[in-house]
Amino acid sequence: MNPLALLARIGRLALDWLSAIGRVALFGLSTLTHMLRPPFYGRETLNALLHIGWLSLPVVGLTAIFTGGALALQIYAGGARFNAEAVVPQIVAIGMVRELGPVLVGLMIAARVTSSIAAEIATMKVTEQIDALVTLSTNPMQYLVAPRVLAAFLTVPLLVGIGDIIGIAGGYAVAVHNLDFNAAAYLKNTVDFLEPLDIISSLVKGAAFGTLASLMGCYYGMQSGRGAQGVGRATKGSVEAAAVLILAANFLLTGAFFSV
Amino acid sequence: MIKLDDIHKAFGSNQVLRGMTLEIPKGTSMVIIGGSGTGKSVALKCILGLIKPDSGSILVDGKPADSGDRDAFLARFGMLFQGGALFDSLPVWQNVAFRLMRGALKRPAEEAREIAIEKLRRVGLKPDVADRLPAELSGGMQKRVGLARAIAAEPEIIFFDEPTTGLDPIMAGVINDLIREIVVEMGATAMTITHDMTSVRAIADNIAMLHDGVIKWTGPVGQMDNSGDPYLDQFIHGRAEGPIEAVR
């Protein structure tokens, strides 16, 4: 291939990537401004709180309990190689609260909520429901996007907190019932080892991941192309983008909270 | 009066409107006809501001459509979408009363529900439909709910986008009669886009033939059959031969 053509292709890709970042940033900014100015749609926000928060609890709980249990088994087995089996409570606690809790909840939200938001809004766009909203003097950014992003910002930290507790409980159950740990000592070690910063970082990550997940769902839904293929592409793109952004944001936030 | 003057609109390399000019006098029913993909829906969406034209001007009662208070502007319009565009998550009565439950026209839920049921009755639907979800209704019923929503706030201007597409001839006749009755009763300005010639004859005061992004012929519906315009003749008689290419 001609080197100049290759260079042009790389340049075009870079420009496309930068313009996509710009569009997402502008969409985020627009969402923020629509969240702050009336009219506020209370019923839509309550609905979003229910769907994003309450109805995600089962999947978050199940993910966390199995992850906590598996983590306890892994740490026990790995620790046994250098006689460090006793650190199971501390590592489960720190692993769940600092990393696995927020990241897994974030990814489950991306799978469950981002996809559902993108598919719903994309279908509304394809079936002219978004146009209908506009003709009925209702701003889709205010009616559809702002309530969902606000609800995710508020509820995902709570889900992360609950996921952390359930994950630790999963580790506790496995350690006490399968690995013969003393129950009281396990709990004491867990509580003593965790610091406020661990919990704060977990909740901040939850808020960031929830915002990113819902924003990607809304963005891809609103940008959807025509027909079933458009809806499919929007849904797939939203989940991919949300998952990647969550992992990237996790790296940045971990660095910001715990870099030495 | 709605006045479109030299409207151009392209999507990428696809030039859809190439200088569309049209006047719709107040209180009359204009039907725009033309083949699929000739820009009928685009023209309608340009007036509503859903699509921004590349050039040209749109005046509604002498004022540019894209100036002034947007909410007040849109409050003058009602629109029946081709597929109904009903909100899946809301029961029928909330769809109909959507505009009456928000913004400047907001009123108590009970009153909005009463108005919705009255409008549903106006389009021939029973009150027990009010609490059902749109997905539980047939295509014809969804269209009628869409019509009830379009007239709920008693707009001055009503747009109908292919109102009879996908309906059986009897239901299409019912919708055509309803549209005609409602437009006359409300004294509204109506703009309909369709390629259903039965609808044209039932609904129109005036018709406009859109082809290749421009209006080829416009005039009273009574002159349609003797227009002498080859495009209109071919279209209304459904002939494969003529200036409009069958393969587009």
Strands B14-24 and B2-11: antiparallel
What is the 8-class DSSP label of residue B104? Answer: G
Backbone phi and psi for residue B205, each to the nearest 5 degrees, phi listed first: -95, -45
pLDDT of residue A260: 65
Give the residue from A135, A142, A143, A144 with the most B CB atoms within 10 Å of its CB, the best one to mutate: A135
Backbone phi and psi for residue B164, each to the nearest 5 degrees, phi listed first: -110, 5
- Residue A116 placed within a domain: yes
- Residue B246 placed within a domain: no
**How many domains is chain B partitioned into structurally?**
2
Cβ contact, residue pair A136, B74, below 8 Å:
yes
B77: nearest CB among A127, A129, A135: A135
Cβ contact, residue pair B85, A136, below 8 Å:
no
Q: Give me the domain span that covers residue A228.
A: 40-258
The pLDDT tens digits for B36-70 are 888 898 999 999 999 999 999 999 988 888 888 88
Mark whether B104 and B72 lie in a shared domain.
Answer: no
- Residue B145 placed within a domain: yes
Q: Would you say B9 and B51 are in contact if contact means Cβ atoms under 8 Å apart?
A: yes
Q: In angstroms, what CA-CA distances link A20 with A116, B88, B202?
A: 22, 31, 49
pLDDT of residue A155: 97
- Residue B164 placed within a domain: yes
Q: Which one is predicted more confidently, B115 or B186?
A: B115
| Chain B interface includes A136 (CB < 8 A) | yes
Mark whether B6 and B110 lie in a shared domain.
Answer: no
Q: How far A226 CA lies from chain B's nearest CA (Å)? A: 14
- Residue A21 placed within a domain: no
Question: Residue B55: which of B13, B16, B2, B1 has the closest Cα?
Answer: B16
| Chain B interface includes A43 (CB < 8 A) | no
- Residue B242 placed within a domain: no
Q: In angstroms, what CA-CA distances link B139 with A165, A206, A260, B127, B183?
A: 50, 43, 64, 18, 22
- Residue B236 placed within a domain: no
| Chain A interface includes B106 (CB < 8 A) | no
- Residue A5 placed within a domain: no
Degrees (nearest 5) of the Cα angle A224, A160, A257?
100
pLDDT of residue B187: 87
The CATH number that applies at residue B50 is: 3.40.50.300
Mark whether B167 and B205 lie in a shared domain.
Answer: yes
Q: Would you say B46 and B9 are in contact if contact means Cβ atoms under 8 Å apart?
A: yes
Question: Residue B27: which of B185, B220, B143 has the closest Cα?
Answer: B185
Q: Would you say B209 and B48 are in contact if contact means Cβ atoms under 8 Å apart?
A: no
pLDDT band at B225 (very low <50, low <70, confident <90, very high): confident
| Chain A interface includes B217 (CB < 8 A) | no
Q: Would you say A67 and A173 are in contact if contact means Cβ atoms under 8 Å apart?
A: no
**How many domains is chain A partitioned into structurally?**
1
Mark whether B200 and B221 lie in a shared domain.
Answer: yes
| Chain B interface includes A29 (CB < 8 A) | no
- pLDDT above 90 for B247: no
Q: Which residues of chain A have pLDDT under 70?
A: 260
| Chain A interface includes B160 (CB < 8 A) | no
Q: In angstroms, what CA-CA distances link A175 with A77, A171, A178, A198?
A: 12, 6, 6, 22
pLDDT of residue B248: 54
pLDDT of residue A182: 93
- Residue A68 placed within a domain: yes
| Chain A interface includes B98 (CB < 8 A) | yes
Mark whether B163 and B72 lie in a shared domain.
Answer: yes
The tally of CA atoms less than 13 A away on the side-chain side of residue B157 is 20
The pLDDT tens digits for A21-68 are 999 999 999 999 999 998 899 999 999 999 999 999 999 999 999 999
Mark whether B107 and B133 lie in a shared domain.
Answer: yes
pLDDT band at B236 (very low <50, low <70, confident <90, very high): confident
Among the three residues B128, B151, B174, which one is the final residue of a domain in this structure?
B151
Q: How far A136 CA lies from chain B's nearest CA (Å)? A: 6
Question: Residue B182: which of B161, B207, B157, B218 has the closest Cα?
Answer: B157
Which of chain A's residues have a Cβ under 8 Å away from the Cβ of B81?
Answer: 128, 131-132
| Interatomic CA distance for residues A218 and B166, integer angstroms | 31
- Residue A219 placed within a domain: yes
- Residue A1 placed within a domain: no
Mark whether B162 and B222 lie in a shared domain.
Answer: yes
Concatenated DSSP letters of chain A = --HHHHHHHHHHHHHHHHHHHHHHHHHHHHHHHHHHSS---HHHHHHHIIIIIGGGHHHHHHHHHHHHHHHHHHHHHHHGGGT-GGGHHHHHHHIIIIIIHHHHHHHHHIIIIIHHHHHHHHHHHHTTHHHHHHHTT--HIIIIIHHHHHHHHHHHHHHHHHHHHHHHHHHHHHHHHTS---HHHHHHHHHHH--HHHHHHHHHHHHHHHHHHHHHHHHHHHT--SHHHHHHHHHHHHHHHHHHHHHHHHHHHHHHHH--
Q: Would you say B7 and B19 are in contact if contact means Cβ atoms under 8 Å apart?
A: yes
pLDDT band at B35 (very low <50, low <70, confident <90, very high): confident
Cβ contact, residue pair B103, A135, below 8 Å:
no
Mark whether B171 and B217 lie in a shared domain.
Answer: yes
- Residue A9 placed within a domain: no
Q: Give me the domain span that covers residue B8.
A: 1-76+155-229
| Interatomic CA distance for residues A72 and A63, integer angstroms | 14
| Interatomic CA distance for residues B83 and B80, integer angstroms | 8
- Residue B121 placed within a domain: yes
Q: Would you say A152 and A213 are in contact if contact means Cβ atoms under 8 Å apart?
A: yes
- Residue B7 placed within a domain: yes
Q: Would you say A149 and A36 are in contact if contact means Cβ atoms under 8 Å apart?
A: no
Residue B3, both tokens: 């006045």
Q: Would you say A153 and A210 are in contact if contact means Cβ atoms under 8 Å apart?
A: yes
Amino acid at A18: L
pLDDT of residue B86: 95
Mark whether B64 and B166 lie in a shared domain.
Answer: yes
Mark whether B68 and B180 lie in a shared domain.
Answer: yes
Q: What's the rounded mean pLDDT across residues B98-106?
A: 85
